[in-house]
């Protein structure tokens, strides 16, 4: 990709929170998936209780208002009838309050119970490093053929200093259902090993850039130490390039 950023552009970026939700599908399977947030079972009971109290307040309040009016008509207006009407009216007016109380209580309990899960999800997110991963997948076509395809999961800039991933199918080949299973399996394994090598190459490129970045952050006063660190990073990059030249790619 011509507009693909170099590894050096990602070393000081943090993973975007979207990788826990909308962009999760763009991550390679090898990274696993974050722990799911399971809704609290208590929430349903609390909300249900709130709904019950809401209905009960409305019904009881209406009955009290009616009872107070009947008492006032039959016995004359006195303190008791007025009190009954007032209490009933208060219950009717405030009956929706139980729903809000139940919702707030459920949110509070659910928030406390999921705090640890959220913390583990954030820790998982922080372990993701922004370098390209390659993975091999297969799918079965309607006619029984098997398609082997290679997907590149590339880091892309997101926001001010964050990154997410883009998923791109960059290669695929179709194998007839009549082909021997052993041959298809062998080909898939060959492609998988190539993808693993390419992923490791990208990881090494990122690590070299990260090392160089860390070296640049060293105390400027210690110029000799900074130069030694930069030389070590350059030697690592040179070693990586020479290794790639000695080991030609498996896919021609």
CA distance 153 to 25: 10
pLDDT, tens digit (0-9, with 9 covering 90-100), for 43-88:
666 666 767 767 777 777 678 777 767 766 777 676 776 777 677 6
Cβ atoms of residues 172 and 147 within 8 Å: yes
pTM score, whole prediction: 0.61
Tokens of 245: 């030249």
Q: Is residue 31 part of a domain?
A: no
Q: Is residue 119 part of a domain?
A: yes
* Residue 180 and residue 115 share a domain: no
**Does residue 32 lie within any of the structural domains?**
no
Element (H, E) at 128: none
Whether residue 98 is found in the same domain as residue 152: no
Instruction: Supply the range of the domain harboring residue 219.
Output: 130-246
- The per-residue pLDDT for 233 is 53
Q: At residue 218, does pLDDT exceed 90?
A: no
pLDDT digits 0-9 by tens, 124-170: 999 999 999 999 999 999 888 999 999 999 999 998 889 999 999 99
Tell whether 192 is covered by a domain.
Answer: yes
The SS3 call for residue 177 is coil
Number of domains in the chain: 2
Of the three residues 92, 124, 156, the one that is the final residue of a domain is 124
In a domain, 9, yes or no: no
Last residue of a domain, one of 108, 124, 140: 124
Please return the burial class of 178, using the count of CB atoms within 10 Å of its CB with bins 0-12, 13-18 and 19+. exposed
DSSP label at 20? G
């Amino acid at each position: 990709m011509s507009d693909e950023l170099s590894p050096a552009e990602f070393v000081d970026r943090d993973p975007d929170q979207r990788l826990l939700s909308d962009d999760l599908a763009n991550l390679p399977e090898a990274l696993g998936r974050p722990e799911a947030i399971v809704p609290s079972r208590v929430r349903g009971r609390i909300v249900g209780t709130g709904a019950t109290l809401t209905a009960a307040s409305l019904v009881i309040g209406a009955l009290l208002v009616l009872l107070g009016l009947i008492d006032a008509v039959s016995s004359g207006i006195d303190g008791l009838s007025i009190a009954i009407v007032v209490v009933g009216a208060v219950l009717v007016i405030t009956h929706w309050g139980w729903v809000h109380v139940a919702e707030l209580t459920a949110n509070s309990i659910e928030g406390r119970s999921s705090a640890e899960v959220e913390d583990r999800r954030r820790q998982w997110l922080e372990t993701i490093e922004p370098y390209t991963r390659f993975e091999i997948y297969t799918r079965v076509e309607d006619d029984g053929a098997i398609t082997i395809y290679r997907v590149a999961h590339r880091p892309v800039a997101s926001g001010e200093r964050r990154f997410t991933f883009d998923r791109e199918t960059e290669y695929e080949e179709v194998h007839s259902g009549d082909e021997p299973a052993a041959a298809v399996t062998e080909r898939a394994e060959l492609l998988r090993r190539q993808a693993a090598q390419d992923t490791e190459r990208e990881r090494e490129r990122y690590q070299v850039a990260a090392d160089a970045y860390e070296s640049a952050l060293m105390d400027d006063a210690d110029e000799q130490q900074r130069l030694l660190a930069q030389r070590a990073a350059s030697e690592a990059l040179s070693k990586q390039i020479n290794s790639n030249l000695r080991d030609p790619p498996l896919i021609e």
